[in-house]
Amino acid sequence: MGAAEKSFRFEQQVPLYDAAEVVVVGGGPAGTAAAISAARNGKRVVLLERSGQLGGMGTLGNVSVFMPVGNVTGIYREIIAEMLADYLPPQEDVSISPQYSPFLLRHYLNEKMKKEGVEVYFHVDFVGAVREEGRLRAVIVSSREGLRAFAAEQFIDCTGDARVAVECGVPYTTGREEDGLTQPMTLMFMMQDTGKPVTPMLPEGCEVYNDVSDLPQGRRLYWERNGDGMLLVNMTRVKGNGAKIADVSRAEREALKQVFSVAHYLQRNGFETYALSHVPGQIGVRETNQIQGLYTLTEDDVTSGRRFDDVVAQTNYEIDIHSPDGKRRPTSAK
């Protein structure tokens, strides 16, 4: 019998590890901000993160540049003021796009959570939801000690994959309507200027790119804003849905090959003194699952700058949809 035709029933009594008023699942930009906000509203907050660091794609995926969002307000403004003070604009409606060290952000967020009184647990991977009388009572995580439960009055799903919502039966979609494809994945990496020529290195199985048109994204895209010789490279691209086991497994292998191939290209085309210095532990996933919420934001809402009475966040960044099939659109979409 093939794996697809088979399923198993799995039942286990799971010990409670901790209880809080608010449990936040996922410690990326959304989860850390949600945890800070809940703590400031007087709640005891527990944050559950499956990796060993906070910051989500911004640290784990090395997406270490904040794009210009047209406003520097709220918790984002605090982070800039405390960690990247040189970039802090005097007015809130000024755009900035700082490049930052993911290692520094990782440390900064650890300290920030301590100051805010948020209890952070690492290496706890949400795997299941315990529902009673139509309410979520506890979440189950896989931890270093086995399965453990965390109970709360309120839960905030910041997994980036709507993982908790999906387990609770919230309707969701994945991929675009016409063909189910999602935005591609990218493994961002760093190179460091060594000040002397380096020998371009190309491990077995990687490709020789000679022209811009050979590159996975067909373009050169990198940032070197801080004058410290550190180059942040966003030039790999792998199609697939980051929520699918097979797609993400293939993507991790393919993207790493692209990292070496792109670095080899750059070392022969303008970055002759740069060595590969940091490849994060996981590929960057742009898109997986979307819950079907009470309201779906439309392109028209965004382009017309529509205002909502129950606003919780604001930004004016462009509609930044990376084409799942690589085709360019006659709009601002990438």
Ligand X SMILES: Cc1cc2nc3c(=O)[nH]c(=O)nc-3n(C[C@H](O)[C@H](O)[C@H](O)COP(=O)(O)OP(=O)(O)OC[C@H]3O[C@@H](n4cnc5c(N)ncnc54)[C@H](O)[C@@H]3O)c2cc1C
Binding site for ligand X (CB under 6 A): 25-31, 48-51, 56-58, 60-61, 63, 65-67, 125-126, 158-161, 163, 186, 188, 284-286
- CB-based burial of residue 158 (10 Å sphere; 0-12 exposed, 13-18 middle, 19+ buried)? buried
Q: Phi, psi (5° rounding) for residue 59?
A: -120, -55
- CB-based burial of residue 119 (10 Å sphere; 0-12 exposed, 13-18 middle, 19+ buried)? middle
Nearest C-alpha neighbor of 28 from the set 4, 2, 53, 62: 53
CB 50, min distance to ligand X, A: 4
CB nearer to ligand X: give 123 or 268.
Answer: 123
CB nearer to ligand X: give 56 or 260.
Answer: 56
CB 194, min distance to ligand X, A: 25
Amino acid in position 275: A
CB nearer to ligand X: give 54 or 276.
Answer: 54
CB 85, min distance to ligand X, A: 19
CB nearer to ligand X: give 62 or 261.
Answer: 62
Nearest C-alpha neighbor of 25 from the set 46, 40, 42, 56: 46
CB 210, min distance to ligand X, A: 25
Output the CA torsion sign for 189, 180, 165, 302.
Answer: positive
CB nearer to ligand X: give 168 or 285.
Answer: 285
Q: Under DSSP, is residue 225 helix (H, G, I), strand (E, B) or coil? A: coil
CB 118, min distance to ligand X, A: 14
